[in-house]
Amino acid sequence: MTDKMNPLPFNTSMNPGIGRYHSVYNESIENPEKFYDSAAWILDWYSRWDSILDKRDEPYYRWYINGKLNLCYNAVDRHANGGRRNKAAYIWVNENGAEKIVTYRGLYKRVNALARAMLEMGIRKGDRIAIYLPMIIEEPVAMLAAARIGAVFTVIFSGFGKEAIAERVNDCGAKLLITADGGYRRGKVIPLKETVDMALETISTVESVIVVKHTGQNINMVEGRDYWYHEITNDGHEVEPERMDSNDPLFILYTSGTTGKPKGIIHGNGGYGVWVANTLRWAFNPLETDRWWCAADIGWITGHSYIVFAPLILGLTSVLYEGSFDYPSPDQMWKIISYYEVDILYTSPTAIRALMKYGDEHPIAHNLSSLRVLGTVGEPINPAAWQWYYEKIGNSRCPIIDTYWQTETGGFAISPALGIGIGPLKPGSATLPLPGIDPVIIGQDGKEVGEGEKGLLFFRKPWPGLMIGINKGDEKYRSLYFGKIGSYYFTGDYAIKDKDGYFWLLGRADEVLKVSGHRIGTIEVEDAILSSGIVAEAGVFGKPHPVKGESIVSFIVLKQESASDSAVDSIRKFIRDSYGPLFVPDEIHQVNLLPKTRSGKIMRRIIKAVYLGQIPGDVTTLETEASVDEIRDAIDRFRKEIIRTAGS
């Protein structure tokens, strides 16, 4: 981490300046009712609310009490029946080069057709449906059709296996499941319907399955239960949007389960819609003519909020991509940006680091001049990746909107806010809280820490995007998120606030190393390793040590041009000189792949389990299971070397 401000020569003509930010932010904290009343009109409402916020059942907060609206109407109808009817809502492309452009009017027709089919199947307001689809147009259509009729949907990431599907469907009690025959990933066909069939063996609530014909592979269709999407969506009749209460549930999204049983996070209609639309506008300041690419998966909250609802509510054109960012060649992402002239790119630090390892020649070979703004999501971005992203992708002129938020927060919480004014950006800092977010960092003694001191991050005030509950999880909701300090929301993350009030996120509180009495975040050590400039990716964990408590073990992927026998020595020397001996890993293992989910998250728990000889658990969600073999092979080489050295 660095506290050095980075002077950014990006175009400031669209930036109102930091003074404007402080004015808006102060109003949101000092006069929240007035602020949120104004913010709500980014949506169209059937009837106005009686009051802004009800805190009587704290920590369950209810927003826009008795207000009535429909988010599908806000995302589709008001554009399809107005001046944006012929504007592209989605430009869909996949790794095979297939392309499909859907206008707002075309999206409207698709959504109505599926909504009608679901009604004819007996799905009504309040019923639960599950969506297990690849990144195709039918995925947002299914979400919007459910929102239109008031059905509560849960999207299940298409990389999950049968157990994960069954666990989520059984928890939410879905009556309908929407899937596809298969999806495409790195040149292979992923058999989604086959996986669903296996999951349904342990599911009792699903009555009907709708199947999208996408890959054309042969699949099993059960008569009376399974229906082809294209055969039941021919009805052109329109469906009147259900008038939803602001606090009716919109969707349930299950957390990844990397730290335990997945929790079904519930988001409502009104507060969530207000929050995601405003935060996209505040943070990125998108223009009417922009092409927005949120390079995430719809199966996660990033996709829900910033591929589906927020960009559609604002009437933007989004790129929707099915495939891997480095397939069929390492420059796949840069090709798409160049060809479709993407204006705003929003992706993860993991994806950035993965593409960094291929070298600079790939982005340099493409015209990326259309890019105006860059963004990151999913985890803290280390300064080295930030600098590469800024210089090589943004040509040292695009601001980087480093967003911090969670499934539970609904949308951005701490982020540069280009739409209302940003100051100097600092590589690795999410900068300042967005309007309405009141963060505080608390130490182990329960008191607010001082400038530059590490502590746990809490939010003192509620905001409209906050989840409205956990499915079947009242005790978890209260104890995990609000049971630490008064009514403060507990993020579960470590953070530091510097002298300028900028926030630096240091990773999960449950991913902390205790080395010789010192508490060090895994992210801090990974940042130190990546800052060496020769490492593309790093995964760190602690193993028991009889003297130090824990010793640091790391697995790394070197940049292609950096491979050498002396690389590990160079990394150790750099960390020792730059960060101190406490941060130097006891073990550094070189591999070609790290275990990562298809969404790009490095699975430290799997690395640690394999290292310790434990069962790694479900690995079906990984980008490739060969990455687990990479870890095993590296461990075998390490132990053989120890035996050889001891013998000599």
| Owner of token pair 């309405």 | 436
562 pLDDT more than 80: no
Residues 548, 557: Cα–Cα separation, whole Å: 27
Considering the four listed CATH numbers 3.30.300.30, 2.60.40.10, 3.20.20.70, 3.10.450.50, the one that applies to the domain covering 511-647 is 3.30.300.30
Q: What is the pLDDT of residues 544-553, one digit of tens each?
A: 887 777 889 9
pLDDT of residue 11: 44
* Confidence (pLDDT) at 513: 80
Q: Please give the Cα distance from 560 to 542 (Å, whole number).
A: 27
Q: What is the value of pTM for the model shown?
A: 0.86
Percent of the chain with pLDDT over 90: 71
pLDDT, tens only, 18-63 = 999 999 999 999 999 999 999 999 999 999 999 999 999 999 999 9
How many helices and strands in the chain, by DSSP H and E?
A: 21, 30
The structural domains of the chain, with segments of one domain joined by +, span 511-647
Asked whether the predicted pLDDT for residue 645 surpasses 70, the reply is no
For the chain, percent of residues with pLDDT exceeding 70: 94
Lowest mean pLDDT among 112-116, 394-398, 507-511: 507-511
Nearest residue to 524 (alpha-carbon basis) of 504, 544, 545, 543: 504
Which residue has 């703004």 as its token pair?
373
The pLDDT value recorded for residue 258 is 42
pLDDT digits (tens, 9 = 90+) for 472-514: 999 999 999 998 998 999 999 999 999 999 999 988 887 778 7
Count CB atoms within 10 A of the CB of residue 224.
7
Rounded to an integer, the average pLDDT of 100-106 is: 98
Q: Of the given ranges (115-129, 154-168, 218-232, 516-530), which has the lowest mean pLDDT?
A: 516-530
> Would you state the pLDDT for residue 648?
57
When mean pLDDT is compared across 446-460, 473-487, 518-532, the lowest value belongs to 518-532
pLDDT score of 454 more than 50:
yes
Judge whether residue 643 has pLDDT over 80. Answer: no
**Phi, psi (rounded to 5 degrees) for 562:** -105, 0
- Is cis: bond before 311, omega within 30 of 0? no
541-579 burial, b for 16+ CB within 10 Å, e for fewer?
Answer: bbeeeeebebbbbbbbbbbeebeeeebbeebbebbeeeb
CB-CB neighbours of 648 under 10 Å: 5
* pLDDT, greater one: 358 or 88: 88
Distance CA(538)–CA(555), nearest Å, equals: 6
CA distance 72 to 414: 27
Specify whether the CB–CB gap between 272 and 301 falls below 8 A: no
CA-to-CA distance for 189 and 158, rounded, in angstroms? Answer: 12
H, E, C per residue of 523-570: HHHHHHHHCCCCEEEEEEEEEEECCCEEEEEEEEEECHHHCCCCHHHH
Is residue 137 over pLDDT 70? yes
Residues 571-625: tens digit of each pLDDT? 999 988 877 788 899 999 999 888 887 667 788 888 888 888 887 766 666 767 7
**Dist CA 600 CA 621 (whole Å):** 11
pLDDT by residue (tens digit) across 217-268? 999 999 999 999 999 998 778 999 999 999 999 999 998 544 457 899 999 9
**376 phi, psi to nearest 5 deg:** -135, 155
pLDDT of residue 415: 98
Tokens of 380: 């803290």
Residue among 158, 219, 165, 211 at smallest CA distance from 184: 158
Q: How many angstroms separate the CA atoms of 66 and 51, rounded?
A: 8
Mean local confidence (pLDDT), 425-450? 96
**Residue of 11 and 144 predicted with greater confidence:** 144
Residue 331: what pLDDT?
Answer: 96
Distances (CA, A) of 213 to 118, 121, 188, 192, 307: 18, 19, 16, 11, 22
CA–CA distance, 16 with 524 (Å, rounded to integer): 33
For residue 3, give the DSSP letter.
-
Task: Classify the phi-psi angles of 212: left when phi > 0, otherwise alpha if psi is within -120 to 50, otherwise beta.
Answer: beta
Q: Average pLDDT in the 309-334 region?
A: 96
